[in-house]
């Protein structure tokens, strides 16, 4: 019965030791391979974990032997275990001091020097001054006084005392970290990971104290020949205590691993990676199952004398685990696609544009709510379109529905950050942004197109790097889709209006030509024929009437030509958009204003000539439409009102450094709000805004009733080689 119980404890000890070896080696390699910035602290943390894993590899080799079988190499592992008791706590204190940032303080560095000197003394004592007894010495007669408080026993208290001191200092470093971290989002990671690291430190402190007290008692008992020795009872006590320590270390390893994978405490990554957490869970499952199965085969309860069966068990386990991992990896894409379906599915653009009423305007809001509520689990989120697509992407969206916070400060910060150095997201103050704590920049080839503000997760967790990347991609696609749909809607509406206008003009042309022009021409021909009579008798009056008819026909044909859509200006390609605009104003619209002022920089004139033909045409017609609107509606109901037009043009750049040509058309008329609704529904500037957005430009209007109207047109310039 005693032997069966002993074999079960031995099985548990082997399994625990093997589990610790697997987990520590996995964590050490993961920290070193996945680190974004390999500083000395990263190397120390990864190396320390690998050091612990290597120790447990040797520990497994010791405890995996047949119970009671001790050889000469046991003395090496016995002494190595004491060295680990000195080195491992010191490494933990050093890593925690680096991670918490306290080593930047001069007093903390002096404290580290003192602890290092004390550790060196303990190490020298263990190696040279007071060497530990070997396993053979433990079986001999007493080596010294049997008193528990003997001088030799008290001298060896320096080892567990030093270990406990290092762990306590590590706890103090975690409780009072430095004010700020130099790592992006490091403060949040430090705050979230602190409970895990504090718990791990507490477990390590308990281990150090337990080993210190038990080792002193064990050595004293062995010297006094009170310890039962290598009997079943003595071996049972050793294995039981070893298993208890191994179990505590396994708990500390799991806590450290949770901090590493959930908050990237040692790798330096900006955000935790969900895939890393999944791999850690798989490593724990593999380590647990593998350790239990192989531990059973190595223990007295299994088949310790049959290494071929142990190898076969390990092979079967590894094959089964690889099959399970492959199965999970194959099923994860389908689950991810199901979650992303609202963002990759058809937007039903055809039905929204050509269907009755053009419905479906609430679909972007539904997609946004699905992104924030179902996929990200955010308590609050806001999507703010910016740049050239802002006017067509529609108003900002909120989840849940509510007012949009003022994000001008964070937007200015994002715009001032170079694109190549822009972080994945920026922390913001939730109190001043309606609960949003993160700002995710949204970009396309033309620069910044929007900002996604995210609040805390509903479950209190932290966003993973994959979630932020999905949110960014979905936000960019949502803005692009809304802008594209609005562009298409405007172009379809324009096409419908143009078709209707063309039909009206065609019908009016046919009616005028058939009912008015042709009869007048026919009557004129008859009158000219009558002019063959002598002028002094009947020809004079007929000739005058014929001339009047021809003049009326000329006016009607001229009016028809003016009503036709304008052709592209021939001067556009030769003199550029600004030169063509100046000629159009001077020749066609100059008489509509009392004064016309031009403030055009020479750089802007040269930049306008560098525009490609499509961009130049879009800029020219948008500016001409703005001038025409000022001429038609600037005076309002007061025809005698003084009206001045000011046209400005200058070359500059946007906040992201992209070169821009900016044209402003300003009039001091009655303002747009004081003018009745136009017959065409006011779609002229909306059309040109759409065309400019297609070219990457923008059109904005600033106006108020009874005040000046300013229309600003911006067009990106081609980069000079």
**Domain end: 483, 512, 544, which one?**
483
Strands 659-667 and 595-600: unpaired
470: tokens are 């999905």
pLDDT bucket at 144, cuts 50 / 70 / 90: very low
140 to 21, 224, 229, 512, 592: CA distances (angstroms):
33, 10, 10, 130, 119
pLDDT category, 345, cuts 50, 70, 90? low
**Distance between CA 152 and CA 207 in Å, rounded?**
22
Q: Please give the C-alpha separations between residue 631 and each of 648, 651, 661, 703, in angstroms, as whole numbers.
A: 17, 26, 24, 15
CATH number for the domain including 411? Answer: 3.30.450
Residues 498, 615: one domain?
A: no
Element (H, E) at 443: strand 436-444
| Residue predicted with more confidence, 620 or 68 | 620
Contacts of 470 (CB under 8 A, 6+ apart): 340, 375, 376
Range 273-288 average pLDDT = 81
Q: Is the pLDDT of residue 359 over 60?
A: no
Cβ atoms of 248 and 205 within 8 Å: the answer is no
Q: What order do you get walking across the sheet with 381-385 strand by strand? A: 397-399, 381-385, 447-455, 436-444, 426-427
Within this chain, do residues 512 and 583 fall inside the same structural domain, yes or no? Answer: no
Beta bridge partners of 70: none
In a domain, 612, yes or no: yes
Q: Is residue 659 part of a domain?
A: yes
Across the chain, mean pLDDT equals 76
DSSP code string of 223-284: HTT-S--SSHHHHHHHHHHHHHHHHHHHHHHHHHHHHHHHH-TTT--SS--HHHHHHHHHHH
Please check the confidence at residue 284 and state whether its pLDDT lies above 50. yes
Q: How confident is the model at residue 549 (pLDDT cuts 50, 70, 90)?
A: confident
Are residues 429 and 472 part of one domain? Answer: yes
Question: Domain with 680 in it: what CATH number?
Answer: 3.30.565.10
Pair 413, 497 in one domain = no
Report yes or no on 338 lying in a domain: no
What is the 3 state secondary structure string of 320-386?
HHHHHHHHHHHHHHHHHHHHHHHHHCCCCHHHHHHCHHHCCCCHHHHHHHHHHHHHHCECCEEEEEC
Q: Do residues 541 and 422 both lie within one domain?
A: no
Q: What percent of the chain has pLDDT over 90?
A: 6
Query: Which of 457, 24, 523 has the alpha carbon at shortest distance from 246?
Result: 24
On whether residue 162 sits in a domain, the answer given is: yes
Looking at per-residue pLDDT, the higher value among 682 and 373 belongs to 373
Q: Where are the beta strands (DSSP E) in 654-708?
A: 659-667, 698-703
Cα 126 to the center of its chain, rounded Å = 52
Phi, psi dihedral angles at 229 (to 5 degrees): 80, -155
Rounded to whole angstroms, the Cα distance separating 121 from 98 reads 23
Closest CA to 686 of 449, 482, 494: 494
Q: Are strands 595-600 and 644-653 parallel, antiparallel or unpaired?
A: parallel
Domain boundary pick from 537, 563, 589: 563
| pLDDT per residue as tens digits for the range 662-689 | 999 998 888 776 444 444 444 577 778 8
Strand 595-600: give its sheet, edge to edge: 595-600, 644-653, 659-667, 709-716, 698-703
- 123 and 207 in a single domain? The answer is yes
Same-domain pairing of 531 and 580: no
> Do the domain assignments include residue 23?
no
**Token pair of 604, please?**
């802007």
Q: Decide: 146 and 224 in contact? Cβ < 8 Å.
A: yes
258 within a domain of the structure (yes/no): no
Q: Residue 506 sits in which domain range? A: 493-563
**Is the model's pLDDT at 156 over the cut of 50?**
yes
In terms of pLDDT, which residue wins out, 458 or 308?
458
Question: How much is the pTM?
Answer: 0.60
Per-residue model confidence as pLDDT tens digits over 421-436: 677 788 888 888 888 8
* Alpha-carbon gap, residue 404 to 94, rounded angstroms: 46
- Number of domain units in the chain: 4
Residues 414 and 440 in one domain: yes
- Looking at the fold, whether 224 and 99 belong to one and the same domain comes out as yes
Helical ranges in 362-464 per DSSP H = 363-369, 390-393, 408-416
Same domain, 211 and 89: yes
For the stretch 596-607, pLDDT in tens is 899 998 888 888
User: Are 216 and 112 in the same domain?
Assistant: yes
Same domain, 531 and 635: no
Q: So what's the pLDDT on residue 683? A: 57
For residue 42, being part of any structural domain is answered with no
- Looking at 456, 483, 510, which one is the last position of a domain? 483
Q: Does 509 reside within a domain?
A: yes
């Amino acid at each position: 019965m005693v032997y069966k119980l002993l074999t079960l404890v031995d099985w548990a000890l082997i399994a625990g030791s093997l589990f610790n070896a697997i987990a520590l080696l996995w964590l050490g390699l993961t920290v070193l391979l996945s680190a974004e910035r390999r500083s000395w602290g990263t190397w120390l943390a990864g190396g320390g974990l690998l050091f612990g894993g290597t120790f447990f590899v040797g520990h497994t080799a010791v405890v995996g032997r047949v119970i009671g079988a001790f050889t000469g190499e046991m003395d090496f592992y016995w002494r190595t275990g004491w060295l680990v008791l000195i080195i491992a706590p010191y490494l933990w204190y050093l890593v925690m001091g680096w991670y918490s940032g306290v080593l930047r303080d001069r007093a903390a560095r002096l404290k580290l020097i003192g602890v290092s000197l004390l550790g060196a003394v303990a190490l020298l004592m263990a190696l040279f001054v007071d060497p530990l007894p070997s396993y053979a010495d433990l079986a001999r007669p007493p080596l010294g006084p049997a008193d528990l408080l003997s001088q030799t026993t008290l001298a060896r208290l320096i080892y567990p005392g030093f270990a406990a001191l290092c762990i306590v200092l590590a706890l103090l470093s975690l409780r009072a970290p430095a004010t700020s971290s130099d790592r992006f989002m490091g403060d949040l990671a430090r705050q979230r990971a602190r409970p895990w690291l504090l718990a791990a430190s507490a477990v390590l402190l308990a281990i150090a104290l337990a080993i210190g007290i038990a080792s002193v008692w064990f050595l004293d008992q062995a010297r006094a020949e009170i310890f039962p020795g290598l009997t079943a009872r003595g071996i049972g006590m050793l294995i039981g205590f070893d298993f208890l320590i191994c179990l505590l270390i396994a708990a500390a390893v799991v806590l450290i691993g949770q901090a590493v994978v959930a908050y990237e405490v040692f790798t330096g990554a900006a955000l935790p990676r969900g895939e890393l957490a999944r791999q850690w869970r798989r490593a724990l499952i593999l380590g647990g199952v593998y350790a239990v199965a192989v531990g059973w085969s190595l223990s007295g309860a299994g088949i310790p004398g049959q290494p071929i069966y142990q190898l076969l068990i390990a092979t079967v386990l590894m094959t089964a685990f690889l099959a399970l991992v492959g199965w999970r990896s194959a099923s994860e894409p389908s689950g991810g696609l199901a979650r992303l379906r609202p963002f990759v599915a058809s937007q039903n653009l055809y039905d929204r544009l050509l269907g009755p009423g053009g419905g479906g305007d609430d679909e972007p809001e539904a997609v946004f709510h699905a992104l924030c509520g179902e996929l990200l689990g955010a308590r609050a989120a806001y999507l703010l379109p910016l740049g050239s697509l802002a006017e067509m992407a529609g108003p900002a969206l909120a989840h849940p529905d509510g007012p949009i916070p003022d994000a001008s400060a964070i937007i200015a910060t994002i715009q001032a950050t170079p694109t190549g150095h822009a972080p994945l997201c920026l922390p913001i103050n939730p109190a001043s942004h309606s609960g949003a704590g993160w700002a995710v920049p949204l970009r396309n080839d033309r620069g910044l197109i929007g900002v996604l503000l995210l609040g805390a997760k509903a479950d209190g967790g932290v966003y993973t790097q994959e979630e932020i990347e999905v949110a960014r991609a979905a936000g960019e696609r949502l803005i692009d889709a809304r802008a594209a749909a609005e562009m298409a809607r405007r172009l379809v509406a324009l096409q419908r209006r143009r078709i209707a206008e063309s039909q009206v003009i065609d019908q009016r042309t046919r009616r005028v030509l058939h009912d008015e022009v042709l009869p007048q021409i026919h009557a004129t021909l008859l009158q000219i024929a009558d002019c063959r009579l002598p002028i002094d008798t009947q020809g004079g009056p007929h000739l005058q009437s014929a001339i009047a008819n021809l003049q009326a026909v000329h006016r009607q044909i001229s009016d028809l030509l003016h009503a036709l859509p304008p052709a592209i200006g021939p001067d556009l390609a030769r003199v550029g958009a600004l030169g063509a605009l100046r000629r159009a104003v001077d020749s066609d619209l100059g008489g509509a204003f009392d004064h016309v002022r031009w403030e055009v920089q020479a750089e802007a004139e040269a930049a306008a000539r560098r525009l490609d033909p499509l961009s130049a045409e879009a800029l020219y017609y948008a500016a001409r439409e703005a001038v025409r609107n000022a001429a038609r509606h600037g005076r309002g109901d007061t025809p005698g009102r003084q009206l001045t037009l000011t046209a400005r043009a200058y070359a500059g750049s946007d906040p992201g450094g992209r070169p821009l040509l900016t044209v402003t058309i300003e009039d001091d008329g009655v303002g747009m709000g004081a003018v009745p609704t136009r017959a065409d529904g006011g779609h002229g500037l909306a059309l040109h805004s759409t065309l400019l957005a297609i070219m990457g430009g923008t059109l904005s209007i600033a106006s108020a009733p009874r005040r000046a109207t300013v229309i600003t047109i911006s067009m990106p310039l081609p980069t000079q080689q």
